[in-house]
């Protein structure tokens, strides 16, 4: 039952957030997107290593 509630809440949040983002006038330039994208994979790698260490030592 908890899974259905969680899915309903996530779907509701998505139904609210997506139209708000589409109406937003904030746009990201290609240069800004390139700056952010080069940080995503190293940060994800650090996160995965940190989670692995947390699982091993707990």
Taking only the tens place, the pLDDT of each residue in 3-54 is 999 999 999 999 999 999 888 888 888 898 888 889 999 999 999 999 999 9
> How far lies 16's CA from each of 5, 6, 25, 50, in Å?
17, 15, 17, 33
- Structural tokens at position 50: 């940190």
The token duo for 18 is: 């997506």
User: ∠ CA(20), CA(26), CA(31), 5° rounding?
Assistant: 135
Measuring CA to CA, which residue among 48, 47, 44 is closest to residue 36?
44
pTM: 0.49
């Amino acid at each position: 039952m908890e899974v259905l509630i969680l899915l309903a809440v996530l779907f509701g949040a998505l139904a609210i957030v997506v139209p708000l983002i589409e109406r937003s006038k904030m746009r990201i330039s290609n240069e800004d997107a390139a700056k952010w994208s080069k940080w995503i994979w190293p940060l994800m790698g650090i996160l995965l290593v940190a989670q692995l260490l947390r699982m091993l030592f707990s």
